[in-house]
Structure 1
Amino acid sequence: NGKRSVELEGTHVRTFPPDTANYVFNAFVDANLWQYKNEYTEQVTDLPTTYLSFTHEGKTKRIKMYYGYPEELENLANMLQELAFSKGWQNGSE
């Protein structure tokens, strides 16, 4: 729900084709997020923080990515960011 300093303010929704949804789901399953630490942080200032969260088979894994996280996690985050910045989002408050 973007409130300020975002391209689209408010709630927006988008439906992705099943093959895209399956690709993302399988990427998360294949990554086996449970093998990673819950957070990657260091005493470094002014970096953005990314959170990855995935729920599957009744278990949820949430990872805080600030600094020093594995490339595999960065690849997952980049994939989601690509989808988030793609065209086709509709105002969801209507």
Structure 2
Amino acid sequence: MQKNTFQPSFFASLLFIFSLLLSFTACNKSGKDKASQDSALVVQMRKTPCFGQCPTYEIKVFENGYVWLKGEKHIEQIGTFEAKIGKKELAVLKDKFEANKFWDLDEAYEKTMTDLPTTYLRYTSGSKSKEVRRTGDAPENLTNLEDVVADLLKSLKWTKIEDASQESEK
């Protein structure tokens, strides 16, 4: 009598390799994805380009202190970076949004000029969230808040998680 032994087919081998590769890819999440899943967004600011030397970037601060930055042009950090702020610094940041009456600001401050960059500033506290868009002049309390968020670029210790050249390949 001859014993039947299982021999995997070529198709089964390919399927196994594909599922293995897929599982490795699924585990390779960026810091931004992890932070987005683990913690609520508190502050987000995005600055768009202009025809000159305007800094172009997006920064996000999460409730757990995780800070994510994608620098595109005219700033020191080009690429994707991450940093961390402590609970005290996060509380100070939130207090500044409240003290500057972010909730009372209009949703948009716009001046119609094609060369001006636009700044989008979002703040979330509990179930409330608001985004303010600015192109041109704005009330002092809004520009103060933009400066507070922009100061994080200089004050935090950034760790690069992805180069701009790698991002453009995606």
The TM-score bracket by the shorter chain reads: 0.7 to 0.9
Equivalent-residue separation in structure 1 for 2:149 and 2:115 (angstroms): 22
Contact in 1 for aligned 2:119/2:135 (Cα 8 Å): yes
Alignment of 1:6-21 (within 5 A): 6-21=75-90
Q: Which of the residues 79, 83, 86 maps onto 2:152?
A: 83
Larger radius of gyration: 2
Q: How many residues align?
A: 93
| Correspondence for 1:69 among 98, 122, 138 | 138
- Which consecutive unaligned segments of at least 5 residues does structure 2 have? 1-69, 163-170
Task: Work out the percentage of aligned pairs sharing the same amino acid.
Answer: 28
TM-score of the pair, normalised by structure 1: 0.82
Structure 1 unaligned spans of 5+: none
Alignment partner, residue 97 of structure 2: 28
Q: Name whichever structure is richer in strand by fraction.
A: 2
Name the stretch that deviates more: 26-35 or 68-77. 26-35
Q: Deviation digits for residues 22-79 of structure 1, max 9, x if unmatched?
A: 1101111222322111110022331221111001121210000112210000001001
Amino acid at match of 2:71: G
Structure 2 equivalent of residue 46 of structure 1: 115
User: Could you say if the C-alpha distance between residues 12 and 62 of structure 1 is closer, same or farther in structure 2, counting changes exceeding 3 Å?
Assistant: same
Q: 2:100, 2:92 → 1: CA distance?
A: 12
Shift in CA distance, 2/77, structure 1 to aligned 2, threshold 3 Å: same
Instruction: Please provide the CA RMSD for this pair.
Output: 1.9
